[in-house]
Amino acid sequence: MKGRVICNAGPIIALCVIGRIDLLDRLFEAVFVPEEVHREILEGGREFAGLRVYEKSHWVKVMRTSKAVDPLLATLLDQGKGAVIELARELNPQFVLIDELKARKIARKIYGLEVIGSARILVEAKREGLINNVSKELKAMREAGYRLSDAIVEAALRQAGESWRPEK
């Protein structure tokens, strides 16, 4: 993928719990998180199984936005997602990494940002030869309690050339 990416907490947590946060470092030239997102991840504490993996990822650059989050964002999104979009407006990265649908729509439609999600990271990682099986990684995310819709999973697996059947 290359380029720079600004990440929200959800995808980082999802990648950490499956032990694959390294994919961000391997796919992008620079990985940024706003301070608000960094705090959100750290405040997850013991409940967040991937915290130690995140703390050891010294290549993640924690950044402060130079101005307050746009009032529109502050009313529509939580602090972390608003800070991701605000930082993206300042740094003009190639991508923002957000999984939550409402935030994705706002980032894309209102601010014109290139939005990707954690499933896309796995698809790109397979394309780059960094992982062998997207299905296995998505299943691990779901088993860890990370929510991804069936539609997202199906689309990602189609892009990866894999098939999937929902468990009953």
Distance CA 137, CA 153 (A): 11
pLDDT digits 0-9 by tens, 14-40? 999 899 999 999 999 999 999 999 998
Residue pair 90/65 in contact (Cβ under 8 Å)? The answer is: yes
Q: What is the pLDDT of residue 166?
A: 52
Domain chopping of the chain, boundaries: 1-168
pLDDT at 46: 54
Beta pairing partners, 62: 33
Most confident of 60-69, 123-132, 144-153: 123-132
pLDDT of 168 > 50? The answer is no
- The fold adopted by the segment(s) 1-168 is Rossmann fold (3.40.50)
Q: For the chain, report the end-to-end CA distance as a whole number of angstroms.
A: 35
Above 60 in pLDDT, residue 143?
Answer: yes
Largest distance between two CA atoms of the chain: 48
What is the phi-psi region of residue 98: left when phi exceeds 0, alpha when psi lies from -120 to 50, beta otherwise? beta
CA distance 21 to 68: 28
- Do residues 118 and 10 touch, judged by C-beta distance below 8 A? yes
Going by the DSSP 8-state scheme, the letter that residue 109 receives in this structure is: I
Q: Please give the structure tokens belonging to residue 21.
A: 């946060």
